[in-house]
Amino acid sequence: MIQTPVQSALTRIVYLNGDFIPQDEAKVSILDRGFLFGDSIYEVIPVYQGVPFRLPQHLARLRGGLDAIELATPYSDEDWTDIIIQLVAQNGHGNQSLYLQVTRGITGPRSHTIPTNITPTVLVMSSLLSTPMLEQVETPQTQSAICVNDFRWGHCNIKTTSLLANVMLRQQAQHAGVDEAILIRNGQLTEGAASNIFVVKDGVVRTPPEGPNLLGGITRDLLIEIMAQHYIECRQEPISQQALADADEIWVTSSTKEIAPLVSLDGSPINQGLPGPLWKTVAKHYIAFKRALCAPTHSKQDKS
């Protein structure tokens, strides 16, 4: 793997097709199918104190997405890990958000037909993790949302860069002055425009089951694991829009949001506009898990 010196904090370094280079020097062809068709898969990986969070799970989801669009992964998990660890170091360790994208590559004349024998384009870039880490639960960053019609395509479980529908749905939330759009399809909750959703009623946590209408989030899966470990009942089952409206608590989760309490839905307060008690309990368990995983006594390989 190519080695380069650590750059100054003013220069972000990216990995592009085998090279570590300054971000403003990175270029991709206009004939790349990722640019022309959104023919590509991506991942977003949070990094805490220089440690990629749940890296094996992110790489497993990446492989699943590439398999789904019949694109062979260009690297082994060991190679991906090496690239990511080097990139994190060259961008100063600390807290970062890694964006990883694999496109089908560069072709000749534009054609919908998938060509054979082309080389994938691989990009990994890093930015400062702007969303504060969840470190305490008394004054969390709360969220507000509206319900909108889920008009996306039929394979939302593939983490593709073809995200125009998600952008349009999130824009509806932006116009409404809220943080997130919660998506409803045929009267049932699917997910947020850029998040997964958990609903609490009478002490029981529920989240929609995985399937073609939603993307199974890494944070979502981790929270399900944590709740099982602490004997908190969590059911993966369909949730109606009415059940969503009647919820005692609603949580919004993603790799960068972590686990955020929703305190307003469609202009109505949830739990009197305050984070709920079960959210506080699960958030504390999440914080403890993250601190243990990123403790300096672990090796980098253990922590990934």
* Active site amino acids: 159
d(CA 3, CA 90): 10
Report, in angstroms and rounded to the nearest whole number, the Rg of the chain calculated over CA atoms. 20
DSSP string, 8-74: PTTS-EEEETTEEEEGGG----TTBHHHHH--EEEEEEEEETTEETTHHHHHHHHHHHHHHTT---S
d(CA 120, CA 34): 10
Q: How long a stretch of residues is the chain?
A: 304
Q: Which amino acid is at 222?
A: L
d(CA 42, CA 24): 20
End-to-end CA distance of the chain: 19
Question: Which contiguous run of DSSP H or E holds residue 265?
Answer: strand 258-265
Phi, psi of 67 (to 5 degrees): -60, -40
Report whether 47 contacts 130 (CB < 8 A). no
Question: Which contiguous run of DSSP H or E holds residue 269?
Answer: strand 268-269
Phi, psi of 86 (to 5 degrees): -65, -45
Report whether 128 contacts 97 (CB < 8 A). yes
